[in-house]
Amino acid sequence: MGKADGMLAQLDAVDLGVAALKELLARAPVPKEAIDEVIVGNVIQPAYAQNIARVIALMSGVPRQVPAFTVHRNCASGLQAVVDAAEKIQLGRAEVIVAGGVESMTHAPLLFDDTVRAAFVRWSKAKSWRARWQAAGALLRARWRPHIGLKEGLTDPTVGLNMGQTAEVLAREFGITRAEQDAFALESHRRADAAWSSGWFDDEVMHLFPPPQFHVVHRDEGIRADVSMEKLAKLPPVFERPFGTVTAGNSSQITDGAAMLLITHRARAEAEGWPILGYLHDWSWAGCDPKRMGLGPVFATHKLFARTG
């Protein structure tokens, strides 16, 4: 995983997805011809890849007759792909499915006011020099200040709060202090760094050589080995200034990355002799107040435990 505008900035979501899927197919003992479907979760789809799952599949060498579709459930889009794969297998509609998620937040678009679109339409329809001059004037008068796609995409339109602001709501309601958040973030970085340094992720990650320098990228850019409580304490609040508690140091980063899995029926894997890394037993989804969106996993977990005991 790379930071937005970081080492992976020159690769868009399709590039990242293709790299991950090609690596998966190279490592797994499953022939491409055995794949029944490809499902990919993605939020910020490139304009040229409206069904990004299909584009990634074809560019990765998956046979053309294998269908693919894209799912979108915001932060849980990749998990939705995995669940969709499992449900298809449960229904007997498939036995081998590629499921994954891709995102390049670096490439979130800048959006322009409708006056810009209207001015370009007027220009394209102009048939005389006079009409073109008038259309050019309309272009100059158009409102060119862009809407930041990433900012708008992370803001819930029904309540007008972005993710960081909803975190501030929960911090106040549950009495979670800035120091507690920073301490949790510090421990998270320490554990991630220790796991990475001890080789826990060696079999789960791949090396990339992204342009323009083509330097090797082999480590998650979000893990900071040099973080400390003192450094975290110096960071200003981002979403509620000056007295908020959520900072760039104790919240999730803006990220570019991709992940791919092979989901199969257990009987098929055992019959083929494919190594099984884990089992998917059950899952659950839940909605909640958009102002408190961070509680969604809590409610989903309660539903899951209630069903499974």
d(CA 208, CA 275): 25
- Whether 102 and 8 have beta carbons less than 8 Å apart is answered as no
- Which tokens belong to 78? 């990749």
Other beta carbons less than 10 A from residue 105's beta carbon: 22
**What is the phi/psi pair of residue 152, to 5°?**
-70, -35
Q: Where are the alpha helices (DSSP H) in the chain?
A: 13-27, 52-59, 77-90, 114-125, 129-141, 149-153, 163-173, 178-197, 229-233, 266-272, 296-308
Domain range annotation of the chain: 2-109+156-278, 110-149
pLDDT, one tens digit for every residue, the chain (309 residues): 888 888 999 999 999 999 999 999 999 999 999 999 999 999 999 999 999 999 999 999 999 999 999 999 999 999 999 999 999 999 999 999 999 999 999 999 988 888 888 888 887 888 888 888 887 887 777 778 888 888 888 999 999 999 999 999 999 999 999 999 999 999 999 999 999 999 999 999 999 998 888 888 888 899 999 999 999 999 999 999 989 999 999 999 999 999 999 999 999 999 999 999 999 999 999 999 999 999 999 999 999 999 998
- Which tokens belong to 17? 């997805």
pTM above 0.85, yes or no: yes
Q: Residue 257: is it exposed, middle or buried by C-beta count within 10 angstroms (0-12/13-18/19+)?
A: buried
CA 127, chain centre distance (Å): 45
- Tell me the CATH number for domain 2-109+156-278: 3.40.47.10
d(CA 78, CA 56): 14
Residue 41: predicted pLDDT: 98
